[in-house]
Structure 1
Amino acid sequence: MTSLEAEAAIQARGGIAAAVRTRDQWLASDMGRAAREGPWIALAPGGRKEVGIGLDGQGIPRAETPLPGAAENIRRPLTGVRVLDLTRVIAGPVNQRRLQELLKAADVVVTGYRHGSLDRFGLGADALQAFRPGLAVVTLDSWGAAGPWRRLRGFDSIVQAAAGIAHAYGRQTDDGGWQPGALPVQALDHATGYGAAAAAITLLTSRRRTGRGGAGRLSLARTAEELCALPAVRTEPRALPEPAYRNMPSTFGGLRYVPPPLAAAGQPLDYSGPPPPYGSSGLAWT
């Protein structure tokens, strides 16, 4: 089989696969053209017409009043906001009635499933907002809402392979072949995650003015296009500075970690505590 034949056969059976393409091959494909359509973050606040936010943050409004909890703790301005996070890599089954109970008190829902795959459960963005009109719903997937791959599964490394990133970071082998490479971090995951957070905060900001929620959409493939459109780095590679490690005790032992690269009011943010033991968190708001 060629790589494209294998890709088609695996996808036809519900598997996750993408042939390693050059950047030009991806841009010339129907999938690549679809990935370039629309903004990086597509937002529809308060039921209004969809607007866009770019990777540079243009289009994000500033809050006229603080979000809940900001006055009490400026270093944690989102204190009190309840986020139902359905984006984890390893997911478990949830009883749907319990999920609906959580939705009644949620401020934000973030989902990370194939485009349209939650609709049959009544958990699509429109259905969620109808169930709770003030809800901010942010969805992210691999391939976006348009194009022939919109219903397919995927993850960061697969999108890197399809979009030409793995080829660009590859190297020549001794036998004259080409070995694909990868970015040193899951850059599409990280950037899309920060975009999802920005979308949620923007929708919460809008809700304080209008009393209504809204929806935001992102995809790893669209993030890949934004990153590939950035100017090339012309400086020589050099060693990165050592991260500003911090330490805290945990039930797993001493934890050494890198804090979030964010600040509020000029002060660096930090995690509120260590990760809890597995299985210790009940399916309820705390």
Structure 2
Amino acid sequence: MRGATETAWAALGADPVWCERVRYEGGPGGLPARLPVMDLARATVAVCSLAAAELATVRTGAAVPSVRVDDGAVTAAFHSERLVRLDGHVAESFAPLSRFWRAADGWVRTHANYPHHRERLLAALSLRPDAGPAEVADALAERRAADVEEAVYAAGGLAVAVRDAGEWAAHEQGALVAGRPLLTLERVGDAGARAAGVRGAVSPGLPCAGVRVLDLTRVLAGPVATRTLALLGADVLRIDAPQLPEGQDIHNDTGLGKRSALLDLGRAADHRVFEELLAGADVVVTGYRPGALDRFGLSPEALAARRPGLVVAQLSAWGRYGPWGGRRGFDSLVQAATGIALLEGDGGEPGALPAQALDHGTGYLLAAAVLRGLTERQRDGAGRVARLSLTQTAHWLVHGPADGGTGPEGGEAYSPAPWLVERDGPVGRVRYARSPVGFAGGPVDWAGPAGRWGADTPRWVTA
């Protein structure tokens, strides 16, 4: 267990002595898989908890707290989008056109959960807008997987050819990923640009109190990171474009402790509001396709120039480099392209990890990077830029964190019940999974459940 944690902690540029503060509890088997998914899950939660504890110590001068990582809590959290309920209603999972399909020479994985992605997929296949699974299956069965991949991406949709690990390693993007670190966290700007944590009193239990976070992310890794920052006391304001709606079901899971507002950055009035928010922000987290927000002045360089000392965290699917650097992507697609789906499959048919572990694991690493950026800024006043991708996490899963995998057979029967909470909120009675991130004296739950997506006023709550 400790080896994977130490590897991730080192990637964050942190002092290795902190890893001695971690205690692991619970037996293996919570996330059974051929790959060491449980090791990755424990390690990402552990380093996020360590980064929170470190920030608490640096900001308050309190004694260094211990960190406890519980396998049961980790497993529930990695299934959080499947466990969330609103008034007993089960949240919708993948849409009918988001799945594996047989192609003429192998398999294809598509993602069409959002209406605009569904429309683009059908357009690329020359199908009617109301076409169903049977028609898609017929269209794909006649085409080579790589041809489908290129045609759908060219149309702005999402589809990848299912590759084995060797094919991905030989692919130009796969080779570039293999040569990159798990994540990067770099200083930007001059030391002493401005001090952090100037708003109100900070308690050791809420290390992000007074920290303002602009959340420009969408399902799932980015929102997992920002809901973790909200747990730790940050004022997190999620900003979405009104023309890109998010489902309330997923927001009930990832919007815990946050507020959610709508701004169209292409409109001058909304852009001015955003700039006012940015002028008071400490952190900006982005999860859109690389380059998509640059036209709004949201590249790290532009942000650093306007807001010295800002901590910027960028999340992408495939990395911000190489031939796929500008492509959209999701956890399921990354699993399919990088060989994970075939490693987890059976009899040549692709399978999947027991949870969207690339999303959740990268989300906790992303939160950890922000926390470490805030810690370093507290020391020298300079900003930081963190960059992470689902594909780099996938490479680590396949090649890195093996402390002894959980095995495909798993362990004792698992029940998430001890780690579930029910609370009344603005949209009804919500059941959700507790956060696995914590340290001695730290928070055990969010300040409140998710509100209605997009319904909040775009302003800061912290004075």
TM-score of the superposition, structure 1-length normalised? 0.84
Distance 2:426 2:150 in 1: 46
Structure 1 residue 279: Cα displacement: 4.0
Q: Give the alignment's Cα RMSD to 1 decimal.
A: 2.4
Further displaced range: 140-149 or 273-282: 273-282
**Matched residue SS, 1:35:** helix
**Matched residue SS, 2:393:** helix
1:266–1:275 distance in 2 versus 1, CA, 3 Å: same
> What residue number does 1:4 align with?
146
- Which amino acid in structure 2 is aligned with residue 87 of structure 1? T
User: CA offsets per residue over residues 166-188 of structure 1, 9 Å max, x none?
Assistant: 1122223xxxxx43221122111
8 Å CA contact 1:69, 1:77 repeated in 2: no
> What residue number does 2:460 align with?
285
> What residue number does 1:237 align with?
410
1:272–1:157 distance in 2 versus 1, CA, 3 Å: same
**Matched residue SS, 2:428:** coil
Give the share of equivalent positions with the same residue, in percent. Answer: 45
Map 1:80-119 to 2 at 5 A: 80-89=210-219, 91-92=240-241, 93-94=264-265, 95-119=270-294
Structure 1 residue 203: Cα displacement: 1.1
**Matched residue SS, 1:227:** helix
Distance 1:210 1:115 in 2: 29
Structure 1 residue 251: Cα displacement: 2.8
Distance 1:259 1:240 in 2: 16
1:267–1:76 distance in 2 versus 1, CA, 3 Å: closer
Structure 1 residue 69: Cα displacement: 7.5
1:181 aligns with 2:318: no
8 Å CA contact 1:46, 1:210 repeated in 2: no
Unaligned ranges ≥5, structure 1: 49-65, 173-177
- Which amino acid in structure 1 is aligned with residue 331 of structure 2? D
Higher relative contact order (CA closer than 8 Å, sequence separation 6+): 2
Map 1:218-257 to 2 at 5 A: 218-229=388-399, 230-231=401-402, 233=405, 236-238=409-411, 239-242=413-416, 243-257=418-432
Count of residue pairs brought into register by the alignment: 265
Further displaced range: 104-113 or 221-230: 221-230
Distance 1:266 1:70 in 2: 19
Map 1:112-191 to 2 at 5 A: 112-172=287-347, 178-191=348-361
Distance 2:429 2:406 in 1: 40
Further displaced range: 2-11 or 114-123: 114-123
**Matched residue SS, 1:249:** strand
> What residue number does 2:65 align with?
none
8 Å CA contact 1:26, 1:162 repeated in 2: yes
Q: Which runs of 4+ in 1 moved over 6 A?
A: 68-71
Match of 2:378 among 184, 193, 208: 208
8 Å CA contact 2:202, 2:210 repeated in 1: no
> What residue number does 1:74 align with?
204
Structure 1 residue 109: Cα displacement: 0.1
1:69–1:225 distance in 2 versus 1, CA, 3 Å: farther
**Matched residue SS, 2:385:** strand
Structure 1 residue 137: Cα displacement: 0.5
Distance 1:180 1:123 in 2: 38
**Matched residue SS, 2:379:** helix
Unaligned ranges ≥5, structure 2: 1-142, 191-195, 220-238, 242-263
1:181–1:91 distance in 2 versus 1, CA, 3 Å: farther
1:138–1:40 distance in 2 versus 1, CA, 3 Å: same
Distance 2:212 2:449 in 1: 19
**Matched residue SS, 1:282:** coil
Further displaced range: 214-223 or 14-23: 14-23
8 Å CA contact 1:70, 1:78 repeated in 2: no
- Which amino acid in structure 1 is aligned with residue 211 of structure 2? V
1:43 aligns with 2:185: yes
Distance 1:279 1:197 in 2: 22
1:260–1:69 distance in 2 versus 1, CA, 3 Å: farther
